[in-house]
A and B are shown apart, each in its own frame.
Chain A
Amino acid sequence: MNIENTQSQMRKGVLEFCILSIIKRGEVYPSDIIDEMKKANLHILEGTLYPLLTRLKNSDLLTYRWVESSSGPPRKYFSLTEKGATFYSELQSTWDELANAVHAITQNGTSTLTSSNNFNQ
Chain B
Amino acid sequence: MKKVININFQGRVIPIEETAYETLKQYIDSLRRYFANEEGKDEIINDIENRIAELFSEQLKKGDSCVTDAHVAAIIASMGRPEDFEEMDAESSSSAGSSQQTYTQSTYTSQAAEPPRGALHRNDNDKILGGVCSGLAHYLRIDPTIMRILFALITLGGFGAGVLLYIILWIILPASPLSTNLKKRMFRNPDGKIIGGVCNGIASYFNIGVWIPRLIFALPLILGAVTGIFHNVFNNNFDPFPNILFSGFGGTLFIAYIILWIVVPEALTASDKLEMRGEKVDLESIKASVQGELQGFKGRAERMGEDFKVKAQAWGEEFKNTAQSKAQSFAADAGPVARRVGSGLGHAIGVLFKAFFLFIAGIVVFALFIALMAIIFSGAAVFPLKNFLLEGFWQNFFAWGTLVLFLGIPVIAGITWLVRRISGAKSSNKYLGYTFGSLWLIGLVCFILLVGSIRRSFDTRARIKDEVTLVQPARGKLVIKVPDSKVKYYGGWFRGGGILTVAEDSLIMNNVRLMIVKSEDSQFHASTIRYSYGNNPAIAERNAGRISYQIHQADSTVYLDRGFSVSEDTRFRNQRVLVTIAVPIGKRILIDRSVDRRLSWDEITVGPHDWNYEDNDNDGGSWWQTDVEYVMTAGGLERVDSEKNRDDEDVDKNKKMTQPEENQNKDDKKYRYKKDSTENKIEKKDSVKATRTVFIDDPNQEEEKSGAVESKAKTTISFLSPFQQLLAIGS
- A residues with a Cβ closer than 8 A to B are 2-5, 7-9, 11-12, 15, 30-31, 41, 43-48, 50-55, 57-58, 71-73, 75-76, 118-121
Contacts and interface: CB of A to CB of B under 8 A. Distances in A.
A46 B424 CA distance: 29
Contacts of A48: 80, 84-85, 88-89
B10 A73 contact: yes
Nearest to B31: A47
Given A3-B207, A72-B11, A73-B12, A44 B270 contact: yes
Given A4-B283, A48-B88, A73-B10, 19 more contacts: A2-B282, A3-B207, A4-B87, A4-B277, A31-B54, A43-B273, A44-B88, A45-B270, A46-B48, A47-B48, A48-B85, A51-B85, A54-B38, A55-B38, A57-B40, A72-B53, A75-B50, A75-B54, A118-B425
B54 A72 contact: yes
The 3 closest A-B pairs by CB, nearest first: A45-B80, A47-B80, A47-B79
Main secondary structure of the interface of A (DSSP, over half): helix
B89 A5 contact: no
A109 to B, nearest CB: 19
Interface string B77-105: 01111101101111010000000000000
B554 interface: no
B686 interface: no
Given A4-B277, A50-B48, A45 B85 contact: yes
Contacts of A71: 57, 61
B642 interface: no
Interface residues of B, number: 47
B649 interface: no
Interface in B184-212: 191, 207, 209, 211
A5 to B, nearest CB: 6
Contacts, number: 109
Main secondary structure of the interface of B (DSSP, over half): helix
Given A2-B286, A41-B191, A51 B88 contact: no
Contacts of B89: 12, 48, 51-52
A75 to B, nearest CB: 8
B51 A45 contact: no
Contacts of B79: 45-47
Given A5-B282, A50-B47, A43 B53 contact: no
B318 interface: no
Contact of B44 (A11, A51, A119): A51
A76 to B, nearest CB: 7
Contact of B12 (A11, A41, A55, A72): A72
Nearest to B82: A47
A108 B209 CA distance: 23
A88 to B, nearest CB: 19
B643 interface: no
Contacts of A3: 207
Nearest to B272: A43
A8 B85 contact: no
B271 interface: yes
B271 A119 contact: no
B43 A46 contact: no
B401 to A, nearest CB: 33
Given A30-B51, A47-B48, A54-B44, A4 B279 contact: yes
